[in-house]
């Protein structure tokens, strides 16, 4: 199973990327559909390039496509690229979006506690980092409400995976 449209480096390049030229760790191990590392040599799903950097509108559209397809770990990679490459005043906002995707990844993996924690932290960062009710077309008030409601439901024993994908835009 592969993420539609996900980009993957060649296997030889992956093996060579355990550390980048600056010495930063790079996890070249294959991953399953939920982003869990697999044993070296196992077949994993195609991955989003961990260095992907897209303009805000493209990052949001790609992240939404991945969330809608049930690939929150991959959406997190796209949003993390925008977070790390964006202007300083937007970093909390993008970090919050990435945290929401990680919260959904934890939910997908069955980690209720991790999901609740990351959904709440992401909601706080999106809300605080937006500065206004909307940034790049994201309705921060609506999205943070969705994330907090989902966290409340999970904390109260709600069914894992029942929340669906959030709407980032509109």
pTM of structure:
0.77
Helix (H, G, I), strand (E, B) or coil at 16: helix
Distance CA 32, CA 154 (A): 24
Dihedral angle over CA of 164, 120, 85, 134, nearest 10? 70
**Both structure tokens of 106:** 């934890």
**Both structure tokens of 32:** 């399953």
Give the total residue count for the chain.
170
Residue 54 contacts residue 62 (beta carbons within 8 Å): yes
Q: For the chain, which residues make up each domain, given as ranges?
A: 7-47, 56-155
| pLDDT per residue of the chain (170 residues) written in tens, 0 to 9 | 445 555 444 444 444 445 656 665 556 676 766 676 767 777 766 666 666 789 999 999 999 999 999 999 999 999 999 998 889 989 999 999 999 999 999 999 999 999 999 999 999 999 875 555 578 899 999 999 999 999 999 999 999 988 889 999 87
Residue 50 contacts residue 77 (beta carbons within 8 Å): yes
CATH architecture for the domain at 56-155: Orthogonal Bundle (1.10)
Q: pLDDT (tens digit, 9 = 90+) per residue, 118-146? A: 999 999 999 875 555 578 899 999 999 99
């Amino acid at each position: 199973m592969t993420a539609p449209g996900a980009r993957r480096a060649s296997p030889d390049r992956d093996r060579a990327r355990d550390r980048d030229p600056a010495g930063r760790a790079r996890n070249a191990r294959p991953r399953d559909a939920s982003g869990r590392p697999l044993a070296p040599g196992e077949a994993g799903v195609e991955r989003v390039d961990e260095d992907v950097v897209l303009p805000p509108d493209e990052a949001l559209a790609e992240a939404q496509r991945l969330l809608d397809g049930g690939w929150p770990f991959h959406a997190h990679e796209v949003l993390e690229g925008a977070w790390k490459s964006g202007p300083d005043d937007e970093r909390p906002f993008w970090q919050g979006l990435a945290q929401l995707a990680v919260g959904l990844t934890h939910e997908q993996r069955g980690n209720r506690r991790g999901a609740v924690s990351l959904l709440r932290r992401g909601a706080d960062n999106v809300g605080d980092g937006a500065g206004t009710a909307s940034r790049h077309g994201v309705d921060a008030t609506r999205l943070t409400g969705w994330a907090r409601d989902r966290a409340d439901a999970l904390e109260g024993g709600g069914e894992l995976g029942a929340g669906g994908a959030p709407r980032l835009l509109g």
